[in-house]
Structure 1
């Protein structure tokens, strides 16, 4: 056969790009994950492609006519800060008018490529129900020990939302952000089925937190750095502890976040709002207190997160007094690769409800550190003697579960993956009164 005839056959069969080494298009959706948009009846679907493509979600009520509903969104170009300047297209589509507590099936992508089929249950509306959560931080690609157990929990619909309290992948920017891609593929088995709510950790700091800010889609307009949302009788506040540590470019973010936190707490404490959602729970990566032996910020008497920065101009306020002043009930943290439950504490002083029932009507916020989901940095040891405010400690790999039953009762437990899913610690937090008046 003459070369001209062969070339004609190649062109006719659509094989020209392959024959001449032209790279394929990368429009296949991957790294699918959900988040709550903060508006009742909504859900955000986020995914990644490596070439520009349309952003479409086709979905339907479970057991209904498949994909009878369609929603469209848009993609934003994210260029990683590494040497290759890799380009990723991050797609976001917001589903609206979802029916409360109804299950949906969906896939996402475009006519250039569709994802697998996933499902989720729309969040219930109102305050008269009992949301369930998984809580953890510090989950990486290497040694993600708790992942399989979290996958199974999610498959049996144990949770209404996941709270990932900072530190992802270890680290998302590595290998020109390919480690970030691997991590997002890894957690798709959880995050594509239930809202995956996040806050930034210290391992997200590269290129001004660009991988974190671009890959996640939290409520509000702060690129997921801080935000709040309501679920059942709970107001959840997510914020960045990292504004106290990465300050080379200035203190603007620190003061903006502090001002936002104060306004959000003021609004949440308006009598009509606190009556509807009495529980205020915060999530931030680096804890104010811990009894680990790694000489980290929380091992110091004056933690930056707790007391602020006194060597800046102007001095930057810490968060312990703010959270105490507005009656925050529970503060959840990670960063330390361990689990630690504290007695109710303020200013290094224990304020138990009573000797026999320390968590019944306590006179200060309760702190929980759960940062042992699994990562390449392994476990952080503790100092030999527990601090007076430390109630329980464990270096087992694992994660926490929490359910807010009603206006007065909250249950939290820590699961050990090392002990095959055994619950190694649990507590009931019981409050007849919420808000700063509860401390009196």
Structure 2
């Protein structure tokens, strides 16, 4: 029997993955048995039917709506309004597509809508066809709740994590890298888009890249082709030249999304952008300052030890001088929360570092922690789960971590966090920040 195109794509892609896996090096750490991947039965849809719908913040009072159609002639139009079925506004967007080995994506639509009212429900339709969706814009003032989980994947644990987040009353979801675990099999990007659509079409998803998004093939394919095409973030709106790093404001928080897998040394574009972005932060307007990236800088797990050291050496002085309150990372498939820490030790004017790469990936949990828990490490556990950061006001926020084995309301770890600005650290450190920003 003659093989079809999908079979050929899978065979070629798996061959590439096999070659890459053979050349990879591993340490002493041995992962536990992986969880089963979810199964996605084929569901035929009309070629112009919107698929994989998700939204993301796109500058002040604007939202980017992203979806995919098999029909390459489908319009990149979003109709929207404040009442079901009544659309008094329309926006025209742009589209892109990409190919990867024998795979060709559908038409990927990106349409920015707005200006929008704060803390308001909107109803919308993509491409003038298909079902009606709705989303809620974040509030402009405190309180605001941010849901966080990295390293999602597409397993039974992923489904559990998403179900827990769906029960959380949150305004924005943040994902510090490793989304689909497609790992060169491009159809997995499509199934991931369908899996997260119920949540991602209703609240903005703000993501940054991880190692599983690279999908680099030497001399054949550049890194992050699928990620950049499918998950466009507000990098242009924040003055960045790359979709791999950007920033955005929500309520009274300025949030910086950095790239662990693009250049970050002091001569890099990312470093220059970060300096410029921090120079524009107004702590009167955004008293909270957060940073997200994939590879943790503070990690007492045996997995991925030292992988963030170079980025930390380059960028931690900038973040510390600017008074970043909380740093969130993924990569390590476990949960860990630190004291305020800087330069390798506890520091009352440092950031709280949280590793939350426990969203549900197929590689399993990182069970092995170092026997000697560092003095800066407060809580650590190898369980799947998600975090919630409720910023109550300009000085106080409540962080909680929710283990998937428990009901969502159960807090497995919790702590109140106050801003460095309210503690007086910003005034002390501002001179250091000015010095760093004035350096050529």
- Which TM bucket (shorter chain)? 0.7 to 0.9
What is the TM-score with the length of structure 2 in the denominator? Answer: 0.79
1:192-271 matches, cutoff 5 A: 192-206=201-215, 207-221=222-236, 222-243=241-262, 255-268=268-281
**302, 311, 330: which one aligns with 1:305:** 311
SS at match of 1:163: strand
**Does the Cα contact within 8 Å between 2:78 and 2:90 map onto a contact in 1?**
yes
Alpha-carbon distance in structure 2 between the residues aligned to 1:435 and 1:115: 52
1:29 paired to 2:50: yes
**70, 91, 94: which one aligns with 2:112:** 94
Rate the CA distance shift 1:435–1:239 in 2: closer, same or farther, 3 A.
farther
Rate the CA distance shift 1:47–1:243 in 2: closer, same or farther, 3 A.
same
**Does the Cα contact within 8 Å between 1:278 and 1:435 map onto a contact in 2?**
no
1:92 deviation in Å? Answer: 1.2
Give the superposed CA RMSD.
2.3
2:184 paired residue number:
173
**Does the Cα contact within 8 Å between 2:161 and 2:360 map onto a contact in 1?**
no
Alpha-carbon distance in structure 2 between the residues aligned to 1:424 and 1:261: 34
**Residue-by-residue CA offset, 1:298-327 (whole Å, 9 max, x unaligned):** 5xxx812212xxxxxxxxxx1111111211
Structure 2 alignment gaps of length 5 or more: 1-43, 216-221, 431-440
1:337-348 matches, cutoff 5 A: 337-348=333-344
Alpha-carbon distance in structure 2 between the residues aligned to 1:295 and 1:303: 11
The alignment of Structure 1 onto Structure 2 pairs a total of residues equal to 372
2:298 paired residue number:
289
Alpha-carbon distance in structure 2 between the residues aligned to 1:158 and 1:438: 36
1:268-417 matches, cutoff 5 A: 268=281, 273-298=282-307, 303-307=309-313, 318-351=314-347, 362-381=348-367, 382-417=369-404
**Does the Cα contact within 8 Å between 1:214 and 1:223 map onto a contact in 2?**
no
SS at match of 1:406: coil
Alpha-carbon distance in structure 1 between the residues aligned to 2:168 and 2:179: 23
1:13-162 matches, cutoff 5 A: 26-40=47-61, 42-52=62-72, 53-62=74-83, 66-79=86-99, 81=100, 83-110=101-128, 114-125=129-140, 128-143=141-156, 145-151=157-163, 153-154=165-166, 158-162=169-173
**Does the Cα contact within 8 Å between 1:30 and 1:47 map onto a contact in 2?**
yes
**427, 430, 437: which one aligns with 1:437:** 427
Alpha-carbon distance in structure 2 between the residues aligned to 1:47 and 1:297: 38
Instruction: Report the structure number with the largest CA radius of gyration.
Output: 1
**Does the Cα contact within 8 Å between 2:337 and 2:353 map onto a contact in 1?**
yes
1:70 deviation in Å? Answer: 2.2
SS at match of 1:181: helix
Which range moves more in the overlay, 197-206 or 426-435? 426-435
SS at match of 1:67: coil
